[in-house]
Chains A and B, each alone.
Chain A
Amino acid sequence: MRGNQFKILIGLFLVAVLGLLVSLYYYNKPHVDVKHSEAAYILTVQNLIDEYQTDENESDKKYSENVIQVQGTVFEISTLKGNSVITLKDEGFESSIICHMLPEDNKRALQLKMGDEINIKGICTGYLMDVIMVRCTLVD
């Protein structure tokens, strides 16, 4: 009898520890690792902008919070608070895709020139005057 009670106690204890570990894991779960994530959509700059300008709500449902990859021409490279910002834009168009790069991509971003054709993977957060992407990384 005492043996059984002891086993139940041990069992309850294990369940409690497991529960604690699981909740700790969720509480501390890391941000999406863009570098090692598969892009949900691969598009050109103008395709993505066109979709947003045609139907912002639908595009938001489709792309925002997803890892997406865009291909386009470098229009501007700047830095903001120590991180690179790459603007992709086609000639003659008003809107662009503004890509806020991951800190580890700074060096590679600074080697780019205006007019370079590049691929960038990142998380889309939506559309203001331009499509905004964060946690971006260059794709070879």
Chain B
Amino acid sequence: MSTATVATPTMTQTWQTLCSRADLVTRSGVAAWLASADTQVALLYLPGQTPEVYAVDNHDPFSNANVIARGIVGDIQGEPVIASPIYKQHFRLADGVCVEDENVRLRTWEVKIEGDDVMIRA
């Protein structure tokens, strides 16, 4: 089983447009291709919350399948999480840490919505 590492911001990172707001699904997730990092990210959209959009790895380290975006978004004690649709582990959206096994975490990215654009810092 692979353990994803935390992305550390470097000087090369810039804000870039990933997709449009209309591509997002309210209180749920979609996957997007992040060409600059040659990887896929899960975008979780929680309108009305702060922040209103999160980006984490779409790759599920437990099943090795790219499925995180297709999990159920919820909260544990008020902390937003997503449950993997395969073996149901929960990952905190804020930092990607797995609730069931804190040694495992998804990478996270800064995202924001400007107008109709969903921007990611990568």
A, B assembled together: no
Residues of B at the A interface (CB closer than 8 Å) are: none
Residues of A at the B interface (CB closer than 8 Å) are: none
